[in-house]
Structure 1
């Protein structure tokens, strides 16, 4: 699904994950963890390409949810150390903590990148 890179798109991405994974029969804890992970990778895309288009994809791979978010910005997100009172900077650490695997790959047309997270199989 193509979305505009604005804050409200993060909420829409969360709801799309909830809808898809619930309808596919995944248990509530995995659905909740997947919602959190999609929220983080979509937030990164919104911050990387504000006001532009981003794309999210929700599918399965080897029995687990595969969450992807494309943005057109060339930069690769890097983990940061966030201070105790920081309001941001923990997204990639959260994704790594909940996902079975995560990574970045170039898009098929070499414009931007796709951040992906493979969640544990049910």
Structure 2
């Protein structure tokens, strides 16, 4: 069910793609995908750690939106900086929460916005589902 694809000569630069089953353990693999790619592309520890955190938040939202379905992760370079993407089959865009002080959920999008240069959501090219993305600082 899981599928890893390394694309080193993509038109915009190198990228790594990973298809996973939307289960909680997928979030660990999402972080490791980013660590693997950005380490190999020569980024410093701060960018790698921040990007891994952002991807884990995006993947967590995808797992919650589409439990038991496939999700697709992509880590690429755009303008020399990491571009993190996650597709899931749900058409619903993630909505920021206003969690209580003790809540365990609801802070993910705020974390993504705090670390990323730009963030967004777009429909997939096929019309099925959405892609949540974050463009990180270099």
1:96 aligns with 2:96: no
1:119 aligns with 2:136: yes
After the TM superposition, which residues 1-122 of structure 1 pair with which residues of structure 2 at under 5 Å, given as runs?
Answer: 1-121=18-138
- The alignment of Structure 1 onto Structure 2 pairs a total of residues equal to 121
Shift of 1:74: 1.3
Instruction: Compute the TM-score of the two structures, normalised by the length of structure 2.
Output: 0.87
Alpha-carbon distance between aligned partners in 2 of 1:76 and 1:28, rounded to the nearest angstrom: 31
Alpha-carbon distance between aligned partners in 2 of 1:82 and 1:93, rounded to the nearest angstrom: 11
Instruction: Compute the TM-score of the two structures, normalised by the length of structure 1.
Output: 0.98
Which runs of 5 or more structure 1 residues have no equivalent in the other structure?
none
Shift of 1:6: 0.3
Runs of 4+ off more than 2 Å: none
Alpha-carbon distance between aligned partners in 1 of 2:84 and 2:114, rounded to the nearest angstrom: 15
Alpha-carbon distance between aligned partners in 2 of 1:12 and 1:2, rounded to the nearest angstrom: 10
Determine helix, strand or coil for the equivalent of 1:109. coil
Q: Which has the higher helix share?
A: 1
Alpha-carbon distance between aligned partners in 2 of 1:120 and 1:49, rounded to the nearest angstrom: 29
The structure whose RCO (Cα within 8 Å, separation 6+) is larger is 1
Which runs of 5 or more structure 2 residues have no equivalent in the other structure?
1-17
Shift of 1:95: 0.1
Alignment RMSD (CA, Å): 0.5
